[in-house]
């Protein structure tokens, strides 16, 4: 019988990345504080999802387990670590200013057991902080780790309010960063103003990717800008689109602008096409066809074939001429002179004789 594992997803920061741990026999629910075993040591985390059964083959490699539920002593220790983090940040910023390092300290994090302090910072390039690490280790009496992060990770750790007035998505619920491009802003018809489409981190807003797929689906039903459409009143041109309202602004034949819903526009185009097809059928029925115009009158084809046969018979009959005995053919002297020349065969052209190699008279014969 296959024995299943109970996996629970645990996060160590608000809106942080989730990791799976073996829940064992613990009854866990979302929001519970637990102590887990990690590669860096013991850590305090929050349960995000309820335990689920998984086969050992589908379990992640190097699976760690949940040690216990967090107690009041564990929560008190976490509070002490938070206070020590503030002191560590203040000390580190002073040492950075004293050494004139081109780096920005973002946050300090103590491990649950206090065996290490991790300092998160941002910088444009590589920083030589070896002297800084020795100074901090001497004052804090623990191991020091300096970790360089990007501007988006900085905004996630610091938090704040966005241009919409709400808390930043990355610091409230967004656990992973998705790629964002200017193409998404263009598809949604937004003004390409960096101040309006950039977030606190200076990069493009993460929320541009939320509705991008919906805009693409809705845009498939609309005609492209500049397309010519045939209406009952004439040919019109698409000059503007409203993707969310599913409406189209047209430049009508009279020069005025008219706005129509996509359903009404499709019906108008179909009606114009049907009326044009009916007009073509009426025109084809009233006007003589091309074949009728070129068709010869009745009986003309038969008469033409009979005339062709008569002409062939006349050409095939031999022509006889009566020759009187007295009327002998008279030939002129010029004809008599030309006759032998015509019967004379053509003279063949002689091929040139190939000359052999002359003997060299200067050479003496061999004895």
User: Model confidence over 122-166: pLDDT tens digits?
Assistant: 998 888 888 999 999 999 999 999 999 999 999 998 888 888 888
For residue 292, the model assigns a pLDDT of 54
Which residue stretches of the chain have pLDDT < 50? 320-342, 363-367
From-to residues of CATH 2.30.30 in the chain: 228-283
For the domain made up of 76-149, give the CATH fold: GMP Synthetase; Chain A, domain 3 (3.30.300)
Retrieve residue 262's tokens: 């996509």
Is 309 exposed, middle or buried, given 0-12, 13-18 or 19+ CB atoms closer than 10 A? exposed
- Confidence (pTM): 0.64
CATH 3.30.300 in the chain: give the residue spans.
Answer: 76-149
| The pLDDT of residue 339 | 44
pLDDT of residue 360: 55
Smallest CA-to-CA distance from 45 within 111, 99, 92 is with 111
pLDDT at 239: 87
Q: Can you give the pLDDT at residue 331?
A: 44
Does the CA dihedral 176-179-185-187 come out positive or negative? negative
Cα–Cα distance, 172 to 213 (Å, whole number): 23
Q: CATH number for the 228-283 domain, one of 1.10.3470, 3.30.2450, 2.30.30, 2.40.10?
A: 2.30.30
pLDDT of residue 95: 92
Looking at residue 332, its pLDDT comes to: 42
How many whole angstroms separate alpha carbon 182 and alpha carbon 208? 9
Query: Where is 260: in which H helix or E strand?
Result: strand 257-261
For 298-355, write each residue's pLDDT tens digit: 566 667 777 777 777 766 655 544 444 444 444 444 444 444 444 555 566 666 666 6
The sign one gets for the Cα dihedral 319, 320, 324, 329 is: positive
């Amino acid at each position: 019988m296959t024995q299943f594992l109970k996996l629970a997803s645990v996060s160590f920061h608000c809106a942080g990345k989730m990791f799976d741990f073996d829940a064992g026999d613990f009854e866990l629910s979302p929001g519970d504080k637990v102590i887990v075993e990690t590669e860096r040591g013991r850590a305090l985390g929050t349960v995000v999802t309820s335990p689920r059964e998984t086969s050992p083959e589908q379990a992640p490699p190097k699976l760690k387990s949940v040690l216990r539920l967090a107690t009041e002593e564990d929560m008190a220790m976490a509070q002490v670590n938070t206070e020590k983090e503030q002191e560590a940040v203040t000390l580190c910023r002073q040492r950075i200013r004293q050494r004139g390092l081109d780096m920005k300290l973002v946050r300090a994090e103590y491990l649950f057991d206090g065996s290490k302090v991790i300092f998160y910072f941002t910088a444009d390039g590589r920083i030589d902080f070896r002297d800084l690490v020795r100074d901090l280790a001497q004052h804090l009496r623990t191991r020091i780790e300096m970790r360089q992060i990007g501007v988006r990770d900085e905004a996630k750790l610091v938090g704040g309010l966005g241009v919409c007035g709400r808390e930043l998505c990355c610091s409230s619920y967004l656990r992973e960063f998705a790629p964002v491009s200017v193409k998404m802003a263009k598809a949604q018809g937004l003004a390409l103003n960096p101040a309006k489409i950039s977030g606190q981190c200076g990069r493009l807003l993460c929320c541009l990717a939320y509705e991008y797929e919906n805009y693409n689906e809705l845009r498939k039903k609309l005609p492209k800008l500049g397309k010519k459409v045939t209406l009952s009143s004439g040919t019109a041109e698409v000059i503007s689109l409203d993707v969310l309202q599913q409406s189209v602004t047209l430049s009508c034949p009279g020069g005025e602008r008219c706005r129509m819903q996509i359903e009404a526009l499709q019906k108008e185009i179909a009606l114009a096409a049907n009326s044009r097809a009916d007009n073509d059928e009426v025109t084809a029925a009233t006007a003589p066809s091309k074949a009728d115009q070129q068709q010869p009158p009745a009986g003309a084809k038969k008469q033409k074939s009979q005339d062709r046969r008569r002409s062939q018979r006349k050409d095939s009959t031999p022509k006889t001429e009566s020759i009187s005995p007295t009327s002998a053919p008279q030939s002129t002297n010029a004809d008599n002179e030309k006759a032998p020349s015509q019967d004379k065969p053509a003279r063949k052209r002689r091929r040139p004789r190939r000359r052999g190699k002359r003997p060299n008279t200067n050479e003496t014969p061999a004895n």
